[in-house]
Amino acid sequence: MSDVPEKLAALFPPDRADALVALRRDLHRHPELSFAETRTAGALERALAPLRPASIDRVAGTGVVARIRGRDPGAPVVAVRGDIDALPIHEATGLEYASVHDGVMHACGHDVHASWAVGAAHLLAERPAAGDVLVVLQPAEETGTGAAAILASGALDDVRAIFGAHVDRRFAVGEVVAQAGPLAAAADDFFVELLGRGAHGARPHESADPVVGAAALVTALQTIVSRRVNPAIPAVVTVATLQAGTAPNVIAERATMSGTLRAVDPATRTLLASEVRRIADGIAAAHGLTANVRIDLGPPPIVNPERPAAWARTAAESLLGADAIVPLGITNMGGEDFAYYMERIPGCFLRVGAREPGGAPTPAHTPQYHAAEASLFVGAAVLAESARVASAALAGGERA
């Protein structure tokens, strides 16, 4: 049933490997949306219970946090995180364990993330870290709200370092990105309402047309990245929705649009938001309209610090060899709410190869997305070993 990478075979005997694969397939077959992961949380609790953790707690509604005992009760506590929610997408993979919930699927690999966190718990129970390790199974990553809810619960108040990872089909199974520096972007949303004056379609001079203003605004917003952001700094402004009007012969009174702002540094993040407001107000004034702008802040950027990244890299190299460590090779403008943890706790976020031999680099958040099963074992082993390396370093007096 399982396909364990050769270098990790000793860590995953058949019974353990098959159990993790069965868990992954069960979660994939029964996906649940953000903060609705009730069945998922129950399945994960049942998978963890045989390990006899020091505690298993429900937090943030549908989150699960299990404490795996370390060798020294007084040693610093570290954490590993797996996210558990799915997306509102209709699955088209054709898998025998495809989603049974129409319009909901694990199109971002969180079924693997949840399962490899359980796998890491098994490995840590068998060979403990210096201190306790919290295995965090987090809801609602896709809405960017789950990590903040876990933090607000207080469950991680004593954690000194945290590690997480994401499957990535741009990389083959067995390859791991464990590097310092930017790994994901801030992901903020903007909403613009343009209010004008409606009229008959035959008499446009009697209107203040928000559709014309909206068209001008869509174009003008593209100048933020091309003319206001330093070309050496990555940034994205995307208009994703645009609505106005009810009939072809009626000039609407209102137009709305929304989109996303992506940046990898705080100054650029602030600039993008202020420019959306400035340009929207200016375009509205030029067309005799009123602009109402709202910016909803999402996760901040992920910037891996040097020491935690070195711990994770050491862990991955010890398991897979130096050749397995690969550079990200791009600037990733995707958002990831693991960044909220890293605002308070030193840590490292990794990318774990999930492309099977001969497979295509299928993008996430698509109906065809599927992470290769063998990535499950790589993620579990690397996260468990990262926790051990970090725990030993912190217990020895190192600073993250």
Q: Which CATH number fits domain 6-184+301-395: 3.40.50.10490, 3.40.50.720, 3.40.630.10, 3.90.550.10?
A: 3.40.630.10
166 is annotated as contributing to ligand binding: yes
113 is annotated as contributing to ligand binding: no
Are 182 and 331 in contact, with CB atoms under 8 Å apart?
Answer: yes
pLDDT of residue 1: 62
Instruction: Please provide the CATH number assigned to the domain covering 186-296.
Output: 3.30.70.360
Q: How sure is the predictor about 192, in pLDDT bands with cuts at 50, 70 and 90?
A: very high
108 is annotated as contributing to ligand binding: yes
pLDDT of residue 277: 98
Q: Which two tokens stand for residue 301?
A: 């950027």
pLDDT tens figures, 351-372:
999 999 999 999 999 999 999 9
Residue 400 confidence (pLDDT) above 90 = no
pLDDT tens figures, 109-147:
999 999 999 999 999 999 999 999 999 999 999 999 999
Residue 175 confidence (pLDDT) above 90 = yes
365 is annotated as contributing to ligand binding: yes
CB atoms within 10 A of CB 196: 24
**Cα-atom radius of gyration of the chain, to the nearest Å?**
23
- Cβ contacts of residue 99 below 8 Å, gap of 6+? 28, 29, 30, 31, 86, 91, 105, 106
- Average pLDDT along the chain: 97
pLDDT of residue 166: 98
- Break the chain into its structural domains and give their ranges: 6-184+301-395, 186-296
Percent helix, strand and coil across the chain, each to the nearest 5: 35, 25, 35
193 is annotated as contributing to ligand binding: no
